[in-house]
Copies of this chain bind each other. A is one copy, B any other.
Amino acid sequence: MKRYEQLAQTIAAMIRARVLAPGDRIASVRQASARHRVSPATVFQAYYLLENQGLIEARARSGYYVSDAAPALLAEPSPSRPDRRSTAVDVSELVFSILRDIKDPAIVPLGSAFPSPALFPWQRLHRSLSSADRALSPWQSVGGLPPGDEALRRQIALRHLGAGLRVSVEDVIITDGALEGLNLCLQAVTQPGDVVAVESPGFYAALQALERLRLKAVEIPVHPREGVDLPALAAALKRHPVRACWFMTNYQNPAGALMSEARKRELVRLLALHEVPLIEDDVYGELYFGSAHQPPAKTFDERGLVMYCSSFSKILAPGYRIGWVLPGRFGERIERLKWMTTISASVPPQAGLAHYLASGGFDRHLRGLRRTLEQQQQHMLRAIAKFFPADCRVSRPSGGYFLWLELPESVDALRLHALALEQGISIAPGPLFSAKREYRNFIRLNYGHWDQRVEPALARLGDLIRALSS
């Protein structure tokens, strides 16, 4: 990273942490140059970058100020307080009516779960897929059989090792995307009727998986910045015969929460105490802004109770449907379930990804992707501050590509969803993210797509919210 980028990151982190508040004057170029021991040109470049990200603004003859709109004028949503009882789950109708919209390119995809495909290195991926496929011998058509392509598993293990997670090639099982991995992990440790702890608000696919496997959900509150509420989890573990937890520790979907390292350690310790397996969904872990990579809870797992799931779908190759599991002590069961349900992931995409990862350039791509998403978050936060009523609350996640918004009490997100769709805009309404259809006045917005349609769409959304809240 260049010196000016480092400086910009340092200042951005202070703004995000509210050390610098909206409207605060920041150091002049001369002051900053002296304080950080860099040239004035470097400070100019850093300030230019921050201005471009919407974090600061220059005022004529007066210097630089933290932007009013960023990191967002609006307060963050309140911590959730889900119902403490366990529930049979039924969210599918709602989810499917929303999934259908994703495929329609005419709809502004603020409700989408995917980032814009324009953010990925398709040309490089194509070259890797083509080279790797050409080099495959026919006999390697069985090479993808569980646990999966050896070269790809080695690349994945190497990346984890580089990030401080001790895994070997043997620990990696390739799956058809993270969702299959998560489903297999869940099935490996539960029987129909069992109770599983999930986040509230939480990823709807987790709720669907519970529904499909006829499991019961206990919803654990999620703080919009700190993640799973550990005292609430401890209480639930005492009250319910919880057989597994399915949590997202980094940039949780939809709230955007990041669990601190200390809280992850505590989570692992607490679950080990109760011998409860953790299914850790880390598909957004690589999409961190500013600061360094956040270790997953798996890093602190000494008992093999954490099943770690991730994929390339959100960070490199959507559509390839290649993910992986680090299964802890449940490896054999998960590998067998994979054999029994889909046999193996597709061989050419596995080989293509292995080739891409071995060729270098993945980290450069990721740095660019993170910068873009961080900028787009700022754009969207600014637009929301401009167009939405002032009593809306919005999350300010330090990674991923989702904002979680609490709208005025009187706004029905399902109604908003229907009205927005009539205007060609999709959103993800709050009740999607709860087994009990809570979060009636919440929505999730995706800033992973940013084109000329998004700002006008947000303006229209603001008008609709105002109309519904009056």
Of the listed stretches A21-29, A30-38, A136-144, A272-280, chain B binds A136-144
Contact call B144/A134, Cβ cutoff below 8 A:
no
- Select one of B139, B144, B177 contacting A343, CB under 8 A: B177
A348 to B127, CA, bound (A): 13
**Docked pose: A141 CA to B346 CA in angstroms:** 16
Contact assessment for B340 and A319 in the assembled complex, using a CB-CB cutoff below 8 Å: no
- A120-162, CB under 8 A of B: which get 1 and which 0? 1010001001100110101111111100000000000000000
- Please report which residues of chain A, range 336-379, place their CB below 8 angstroms from some CB of chain B when the two chains form the complex: 336-337, 339-349, 352
A192 to B346 Cα, complex, angstroms = 30
Can you name the residue of chain B whose Cβ is closest to the Cβ of A140? B319
A229 at the interface (CB under 8 A from B): no
- Could you tell me which residues of chain A, from 251 to 305, have a CB within 8 Å of some CB in chain B? none
* Given the contacts A118-B138, A133-B129, A179 and B342 also touching, CB distance less than 8 Å: yes
A134: B residues at CB distance < 8 A? 126, 130
Q: Which residues of B have CB within 8 Å of A336?
A: 92, 96
A122 proximity list for chain B (CB < 8 A): 136, 138
Interface string of A309-349 (1 = CB under 8 A from B): 00000000011111000000000000011011111111111
Give chain A's interface residue range (CB within 8 Å of chain B).
35 or more
Hey, which chain B residues are within 8 Å of A342, CB to CB?
Answer: 176-177, 179-180, 183, 321, 342
Given contacts A130-B133, A180-B341, could you give 18 more A-B pairs where the C-beta distance is less than 8 Å?
A92-B340, A99-B339, A102-B142, A117-B141, A122-B138, A140-B319, A141-B319, A176-B176, A176-B321, A176-B345, A183-B341, A192-B214, A208-B340, A212-B337, A319-B346, A319-B347, A321-B347, A342-B342
A-B pairs with lowest CB-CB distance, top 9: A141-B319, A319-B347, A117-B138, A346-B346, A130-B130, A176-B342, A141-B318, A117-B141, A321-B346
In the assembled complex, 7 residue pairs joining A and B whose CB atoms fall closer than 8 Å, in A order, are: A99-B145, A141-B319, A176-B321, A176-B346, A183-B341, A209-B340, A342-B342
- A residues whose Cβ falls under 8 Å from a Cβ of B: 92, 96, 99, 102-103, 105, 114, 117-118, 120, 122, 126, 129-130, 133-134, 136, 138-145, 176-177, 179-180, 183, 187, 192, 205, 208-209, 212, 214, 318-322, 336-337, 339-349, 352
